[in-house]
Structure 1
Amino acid sequence: MSLSTLFLEQMLLIRRTEEAIARHYPEQKMRCPVHLSIGQEAAAVGVCAALEATDLAVSTHRAHAHYLAKGGDLDALIAELHGKSTGCCGGRGGSMHLSDTKVGFVASTAIVGNSIPVGVGLALSLKQKRSDRISCIFLGDGATEEGAFYESANFAVVRNLPVLFACENNFYSVYSSLDKRQPKNRSLAELAKAIGLNTVVVDGNDVEAVHTATNAAISAIRNGLGPYFIEMPTYRWLEHCGPYDDDHLNYRPHGELAYWKSRDPIQQLIERLQLCAEDLNTMETKIAHRIDVAFAKADTAPFPDPSSGMDGIYATVLGPQL
Structure 2
Amino acid sequence: MATRKRAAKPNVSAEELMHYYKEMLLIRRFEEKAGQLYGMGLIGGFCHLYIGQEAVVVGLEAVAEEGDNRITTYRDHGHMLACGMDPKGVMAELTGREGGYSKGKGGSMHMFSKEKRFYGGHGIVGANVPIGAGLALADQYLGNDRVTFTYFGDGAANQGQVYETYNMAELWDLPIIFVIENNQYAMGTSVKRATKGMTLRQRGEAFGIPGEEVDGMDVLAVKEAGQRAVENCRAGKGPYLLEVMTYRYRGHSMSDPAKYRTREEVQKMRDERDPIEHVRTMLLEGKHASEEDLKAIDKEVKDRVNDSAEFAKESPEPAVEELWTDIYAAELPQGEAI
- Tell me if 1:282 matches 2:282: no
Q: Distance in 2 between matches of 1:316 and 1:230?
A: 39
Return the offset for 1:226: 1.4
Q: Which residue of 1 aligns with 2:209?
A: 197
- Tell me if 1:128 matches 2:141: yes
Return the offset for 1:255: 3.2
Pick from 80, 89, 95 the counterpart of residue 93 of structure 2. Answer: 80
Alignment TM-score, normalising by the size of structure 2:
0.89
Q: Which residue of 2 aligns with 1:180?
A: 193
Return the offset for 1:283: 0.7
Q: What CA deviation, in whole Å up to 9, does each residue of 1:21-76 have, x standing for no partner?
A: 11221211111210001001000110112111311110101001111111111000
Q: Which residue of 1 aligns with 2:23?
A: 10
AA partner of residue 173 (structure 1): A
Structure 1: which 4+ aligned runs deviate by more than 6 Å?
none
Pick from 114, 122, 132 the counterpart of residue 119 of structure 1. Answer: 132
Q: Which residue of 2 aligns with 1:61?
A: 74
Q: Distance in 2 between matches of 1:42 and 1:98?
A: 22
AA partner of residue 108 (structure 2): S
Q: Which residue of 1 aligns with 2:267?
A: 258
Pick from 157, 162, 172 the counterpart of residue 175 of structure 2. Answer: 162
Pick from 309, 313, 320 the counterpart of residue 323 of structure 2. Answer: 309
Alignment TM-score, normalising by the size of structure 1:
0.94
Q: What CA deviation, in whole Å up to 9, does each residue of 1:232-277 have, x standing for no partner?
A: 1010001111077x35x2x125632122212100001111121311
AA partner of residue 201 (structure 1): E
Partner SS for 1:102: coil
C-alpha spacing 1:123/1:5, structure 2 compared with 1 (3 Å) = same
- Tell me if 1:267 matches 2:277: yes
Q: Distance in 2 between matches of 1:316 and 1:4?
A: 46
- Tell me if 1:22 matches 2:32: no
Q: Distance in 2 between matches of 1:14 and 1:301?
A: 22
Query: Does the aligned pair in 2 maintain the 1:202–1:233 contact within 8 Å?
Result: yes
Q: Distance in 2 between matches of 1:135 and 1:292?
A: 32
Q: What CA deviation, in whole Å up to 9, does each residue of 1:204-242 have, x standing for no partner?
A: 000011011101210111011111111110100011110
C-alpha spacing 1:276/1:294, structure 2 compared with 1 (3 Å) = same
Query: Does the aligned pair in 1 maintain the 2:76–2:120 contact within 8 Å?
Result: no
List gaps (5 residues or longer) in structure 2: 1-13, 332-338
AA partner of residue 196 (structure 1): G
Q: Distance in 1 between matches of 2:62 and 2:329?
A: 38
List gaps (5 residues or longer) in structure 1: 318-322
C-alpha spacing 1:243/1:71, structure 2 compared with 1 (3 Å) = farther
Query: Does the aligned pair in 2 maintain the 1:161–1:226 contact within 8 Å?
Result: yes
Q: What CA deviation, in whole Å up to 9, does each residue of 1:89-120 have, x standing for no partner?
A: 11111011121111110121111101001100
C-alpha spacing 1:254/1:91, structure 2 compared with 1 (3 Å) = closer
Query: Does the aligned pair in 2 maintain the 1:22–1:243 contact within 8 Å?
Result: no
Query: Does the aligned pair in 1 maintain the 2:109–2:120 contact within 8 Å?
Result: no
Q: Which residue of 2 aligns with 1:239?
A: 251
Query: Does the aligned pair in 1 maintain the 2:169–2:239 contact within 8 Å?
Result: yes
Q: Which residue of 2 aligns with 1:320?
A: none
AA partner of residue 176 (structure 1): T
Q: Which residue of 1 aligns with 2:113?
A: 100
AA partner of residue 181 (structure 1): A
Q: Which residue of 1 aligns with 2:10?
A: none
Return the offset for 1:314: 2.5
Query: Does the aligned pair in 2 maintain the 1:79–1:91 contact within 8 Å?
Result: yes
Moved more, 19-28 or 119-128: 19-28
Query: Does the aligned pair in 2 maintain the 1:220–1:226 contact within 8 Å?
Result: yes
Query: Does the aligned pair in 2 maintain the 1:60–1:115 contact within 8 Å?
Result: yes
